[in-house]
Structure 1
Amino acid sequence: MKKFVLIILLPITFIFGCMKKKTVDLIVFNAKIYTVDSLFSTAEAVAIAQGKFVAAGTTDEILHRFKADKMLDLKGKTVYPGFIDAHSHFYGYGLFAQRIDLTATTSFEEILDIVKKWADENPEGWIIGRGWDQNKWKQTEYPDNQLLNELFPDRPVMLTRVDGHAVLVNNKALEISGLKLNENKKFAIFKKDRFTGILLDNAADIVKDAANHPADEEIVRALKVAQEECFKSGLTTICDAGQKVRFIEIMDKLQQKGELKIRIYAMLDPEDESVRFINEKGIFRTGRLTVRAIKLYADGALGSRGACLLMPYSDMPETKGSILFSNDFYSKYCEVAYASNYQVCMHAIGDSANRFALTLFAGFLKTSNDRRWRIEHAQVINEADFGMFGKYNIIPSVQFVHAVSDMGWAEKRLGSKRLQNAYAYKKLMSQNGWIPYGSDFPVEEVNPLPGFYAAVFRKNFNGEPEGGFLPENAISRQEALKAMTIWAAKACFEENDRGSIESGKAADFVVMDTDLLNADEKQIRQAKVLKTFVGGEEVFSEQLNH
């Protein structure tokens, strides 16, 4: 009798055990989920526990295996891994949001009106604005500081161009900064021996340093403003491309207190304090913050003609730009990075600057490697140099949206022949088989969708031009989505922790009202982020913000 009972009870116990559901923190179901795993598979539901994805599958499978107090029925909405911006200026965006916004201006006269109004409302301190672009004006020449000197003889003014590589300053700002024009002539614009107020790159940085001395409270406010905008756009991780140790330490403290939830991959500025940080801490990781890169600049920007070209500018044949620093400067920081297994991330726009960066990197990397040194922007490449990206596994870290932002004047700067190897994202992607995308905000929008759209259709977010700009370098929708998720994570050595919806990875994801892989062009331009999650925690909800 005992044997009979045992035989009957064992199967019942086994069946009961199989039916028992595992408790998790959150179940998301009735969705279309692009996991962006190695097979680019889709799912309908996902289970999340302790901030990580546990499993993905059909709605029936997940609801059969798991239970949770928090259940999110998405009613057919689309889910993607949290978007990752591989190149941005996170703190800079937050700081810019507290300055005079000049991005929509169409003339210097309009700028003066805006600046005068702001100055009346804020009667003390520096007058600082950002965002003007002379290429959008009827008169596309640089502005002049004569009127600024008349309006503000005793108050410093600094107005930064949209790309951040040129500033317009008045005489008072120049005086306070201590900048010596005779020692910085190649970074200053003159007309008939008279200084116009325009400074480029290295000289501009001297005035920026004089103008910007934020208190900790202002830094905290800037970081929180930037985080809010990122979450609205579905960004869960950002790469801050060039930052001081002081600001990184404040980011770390805010994250530890739970006030800054966004994940940050920070590139250090090239300065002695950064070297001390690297030597003392090595690769620094907390789960929310990673520091393992140093940011260098080879040249300036194409729009301000600071990009370094092999041959002169087509619209200004007396100049071809220049490399910003000495060979010793670049070698010093590359040596520090190489010894500590840090990335070097080199800004390079012009074909001469890209050749310089590629050659410099090759001298350190020697052969195939997994150090993932990056060239930021890789905007204009000489035909003979593309192969160096693949040979030395150098990552072209690009901004798809720059192509369509610059298309109105790029040919004027470069001529038609050089233009064929500019913004060549498909060609660059072929070198290593993958490519990361960053927006470069605040130069461009925080929203990554204009970049996705530009990558696929080679058009701006107004749907222009018909047929696309240099359409032979368009990439597929899958590739564009990977560029802002798993490939962006890989560019930061984070692909095992985030960038796709897979078991064990951080539960960072975004819910949208649009299927980007199948929607038509107009639908993509109208797409909205509905919810953003970091580590399984909802950090933005469209419904809660209306």
Structure 2
Amino acid sequence: MTTMSLPNPATTTLLLGGRVHSPAAPDATAMAVADGTVVWVGQDSVGRALHPDAEVIDLDGAFVAPAFVDAHVHATSAGLLYSGLDLTGCRTLGQCLDLVRAYAAEHPGVLIWGHGWEEVNWAEGRPPTRAELDEAAGGAPVYLSRIDVHSALVTTALLHRAPGARDADGWSEQGPLARAAHHHVRRAAKESLTTAQRQQAQRLFLKHAASLGVAAVHECAGPDISSPEDLTDLLRLSAAGDVPQVFGYWGEAGGLAVAKELGATGVAGDLFVDGALGSRTAALCEPYTDDPSTSGALYLDADAVAEHLIACTRAGVQGGFHVIGDRAVAQVVAGFAKAENVVGAAALAARHHRLEHLEMVTAEQAARLAGWGVIASMQPLFDDAWGGTDRAYAQRLGLPRGAQLNPFATVAAAGMVLAFGSDVPVTPVDPWATVRAAVYHRTEGLGISPRAAFTAHTRGGWRAAGIQDGISGTLQPGAPATYAVWSAGELVVAAPDEKVQRWSTDPRSRVPALPRLDADAELPRCLRTVLRGRTIHHIEEDRR
């Protein structure tokens, strides 16, 4: 591949000698781009004849495909994970405390922001107590979010900055703080960060996402998860043009005016109907198997859901919710039914409202949601990390309940639009691993085809953000030139009736091929990411 960067979008650029993923020409080796738009795809010789004066980029066999869209991120928190205290690799309680102790010694006098502890598989079977954390931190204020970000460990020093936490729902004298108490301490921790720290974290995250072939992200902001200032800074950074595009969502009931002032795409994202399974705050119809004393937390009921949907629909704005547990899903479906009685099914469907996670949805519920035009924003790496018969979901919920989550095949079969994301920092931004996880679901029959999974992580993300032009997220004439260039091995097409077991390399299938996604296959490596004709990431492939 040549060393030149893509020129200004006003110049015609001809990419030659590659493998282009295009529904217009599945065997294409070349693509022409002008004014930030794909103007032609086809074979090299024809491209040279049609565009003799174009700036040429030799792809040297690389794979060119629509760039990924991550439909659920938390940019600042992700950037803080990259630059702060990363606990995702901790295997014991002692290791967690050792990392806190070392970080406090290296960064005296500052807030310690950490993320990623998960006590489920620790030998001790529990997280550190507050007394243990106080000792390790040496008096520093510490905020350590659990892997699901629905509970956190904090030191006494941070609690001094959040006095309301002690009287709030979810308070624990020595254990993790959840629910409203968690929101109090998270807000105090956020307010302890400087503007420069936040902005540095945001840029770090966006550059990292671009390096993985992601050209757009959906930031799920809100009063309990971030702040108006945080979203404003992120949207301003995105507008600079050298990072992925950001679609901002503001998750607040009654937040229409705030969302409009912020320039948000919708009043959706992390507007919590319930919590998360790992923290035992997802709202369930039956108690948690590993703690029968609780069935989780329901923050919004059907009436509140309906009220939000009616307001958003009448305002012509996309609305939506965070929903995980089966009791929460039932309340959301009932809320949509109530909203339909007021505004009508057509008006409701026209807004393409969205639901985040939707982990415990049934086929009947998915069919009803599809009828209302609802988009399912889901995270396949959740199943990869916690699904199946022997991981965290099974531990929390028992079997068979714990092995039936994230039913991508059920949702797709019902006709719902799928949009895939990471929920970073909950799971990492890793698009090809995400596509593979959606195909190889840990429960037989719940995965989808590679083509459907790839579409959900590309075109589905644009559709979820309200771009319904039919071509965004594809590479065909007239589509935005938003793509990634990959170093990839053999390209294959999954047989339509046996999506995992059989693969085809026959070009006569006329279906655009994709890299192999088998468990032992090496996933593609991103060489270049382009957003509407402008390069936002570029590296040279080392061919030594």
Q: Does the alignment reach a TM-score above 0.5? A: yes
Over 3 Å counting, the alpha-carbon distance change for 1:537 and 1:524 in structure 2 is farther
Displacement after TM superposition at 1:180 (Å): 4.3
CA distance in 1, matches of 2:515, 2:108: 53
Deviations 1:368-425 (A, max 9, x none): 5232111111111256533322232222211111112012121122222323541211
Residue of structure 2 equivalent to 1:177:
162
Over 3 Å counting, the alpha-carbon distance change for 1:450 and 1:182 in structure 2 is same
- 2:428 pairs with 1:445: yes
Instruction: Supply the AA of the counterpart residue of 2:256.
Output: V
Displacement after TM superposition at 1:53 (Å): 1.2
- 2:400 pairs with 1:422: no
Instruction: Spell out the pairing of 1:135-534 with structure 2 (5 A cutoff).
Output: 135-152=120-137, 154-184=139-169, 187-189=170-172, 195-213=173-191, 214-243=193-222, 244-258=227-241, 260-270=242-252, 274-279=255-260, 284=263, 291-295=265-269, 296-325=271-300, 330=305, 333-365=308-340, 366-367=344-345, 369-382=349-362, 384-407=364-387, 408-419=391-402, 421-432=404-415, 434-458=417-441, 469-496=442-469, 498-514=472-488, 515=491, 517-519=514-516, 521=518, 524-534=521-531
Deviations 1:105-141 (A, max 9, x none): 1111111111111111111132221111112312333
CA distance in 2, matches of 1:358, 1:326: 10
Q: Is the 8 A contact 2:376 2:418 kept in 1?
A: yes
Q: 2:17 aligns with which of 21, 24, 30?
A: 30
Q: Is the 8 A contact 1:453 1:524 kept in 2?
A: no
Residue of structure 2 equivalent to 1:54:
39
CA distance in 1, matches of 2:212, 2:375: 25
Displacement after TM superposition at 1:70 (Å): 2.3
Displacement after TM superposition at 1:442 (Å): 1.3
Q: Is the 8 A contact 1:298 1:323 kept in 2?
A: yes
CA distance in 1, matches of 2:229, 2:427: 26
Residue of structure 2 equivalent to 1:15:
none
Displacement after TM superposition at 1:219 (Å): 2.6
Q: Name the SS of the counterpart of 1:217 in structure 2.
A: helix
Displacement after TM superposition at 1:488 (Å): 1.8
Q: How many residues align?
A: 496
CA distance in 1, matches of 2:25, 2:368: 29
Residue of structure 2 equivalent to 1:13:
none
CA distance in 2, matches of 1:49, 1:73: 17
**What TM-score, normalized by structure 2, do the two folds share?**
0.85
CA distance in 2, matches of 1:451, 1:520: 10
Q: 1:129 aligns with which of 110, 114, 119?
A: 114
Over 3 Å counting, the alpha-carbon distance change for 1:326 and 1:360 in structure 2 is closer
Deviations 1:457-509 (A, max 9, x none): 22xxxxxxxxxx10211111111110111122111122426211122322111
Q: Name the SS of the counterpart of 2:174 in structure 1.
A: strand
Over 3 Å counting, the alpha-carbon distance change for 1:371 and 1:123 in structure 2 is same
Q: Could you tell which deviates more after superposition, 511-520 or 207-216?
A: 511-520
Q: Is the 8 A contact 2:165 2:182 kept in 1?
A: no
Over 3 Å counting, the alpha-carbon distance change for 1:344 and 1:301 in structure 2 is same
Deviations 1:65-95 (A, max 9, x none): 1134521111222111011111122232113
Instruction: Supply the AA of the counterpart residue of 2:211.
Output: K
Over 3 Å counting, the alpha-carbon distance change for 1:457 and 1:278 in structure 2 is closer
Residue of structure 2 equivalent to 1:3:
none
Q: Is the 8 A contact 2:20 2:30 kept in 1?
A: yes
Q: Name the SS of the counterpart of 1:75 in structure 2.
A: coil
Q: Name the SS of the counterpart of 1:386 in structure 2.
A: helix
Displacement after TM superposition at 1:328 (Å): 6.9
CA distance in 2, matches of 1:527, 1:330: 41
Q: Is the 8 A contact 1:532 1:538 kept in 2?
A: yes
CA distance in 1, matches of 2:13, 2:249: 34
Displacement after TM superposition at 1:242 (Å): 1.8
Q: Is the 8 A contact 2:28 2:43 kept in 1?
A: yes
Q: Name the SS of the counterpart of 1:72 in structure 2.
A: strand
Displacement after TM superposition at 1:338 (Å): 2.1
Q: Name the SS of the counterpart of 2:201 in structure 1.
A: helix
Displacement after TM superposition at 1:42 (Å): 4.5
Displacement after TM superposition at 1:104 (Å): 0.5
Displacement after TM superposition at 1:24 (Å): 4.6
- 2:524 pairs with 1:539: no
CA distance in 1, matches of 2:253, 2:103: 34
CA distance in 1, matches of 2:364, 2:468: 31
CA distance in 2, matches of 1:157, 1:518: 43
CA distance in 2, matches of 1:329, 1:431: 26
Q: Could you tell which deviates more after superposition, 196-205 or 115-124?
A: 196-205
Q: Is the 8 A contact 1:532 1:539 kept in 2?
A: yes
Deviations 1:189-209 (A, max 9, x none): 4xxxxx223111322111011
Q: Is the 8 A contact 2:304 2:335 kept in 1?
A: no
Displacement after TM superposition at 1:269 (Å): 3.4
Deviations 1:131-178 (A, max 9, x none): 111123123334322212344574322211111111011223223201
Over 3 Å counting, the alpha-carbon distance change for 1:279 and 1:449 in structure 2 is closer
Instruction: Supply the AA of the counterpart residue of 2:181.
Output: A
CA distance in 1, matches of 2:99, 2:400: 40
Give me the identity figure in percent.
23
Structure 2: give runs of 5+ residues left out of the alignment: 1-9, 493-513
Over 3 Å counting, the alpha-carbon distance change for 1:238 and 1:68 in structure 2 is farther
Over 3 Å counting, the alpha-carbon distance change for 1:171 and 1:253 in structure 2 is closer
Displacement after TM superposition at 1:427 (Å): 0.5
Instruction: Spell out the pairing of 1:62-73 with structure 2 (5 A cutoff).
Output: 62-73=47-58
Q: Could you tell which deviates more after superposition, 402-411 or 66-75?
A: 66-75
Q: Name the SS of the counterpart of 2:12 in structure 1.
A: strand
Q: Could you tell which deviates more after superposition, 411-420 or 150-159?
A: 150-159
Q: Could you tell which deviates more after superposition, 472-481 or 502-511?
A: 502-511
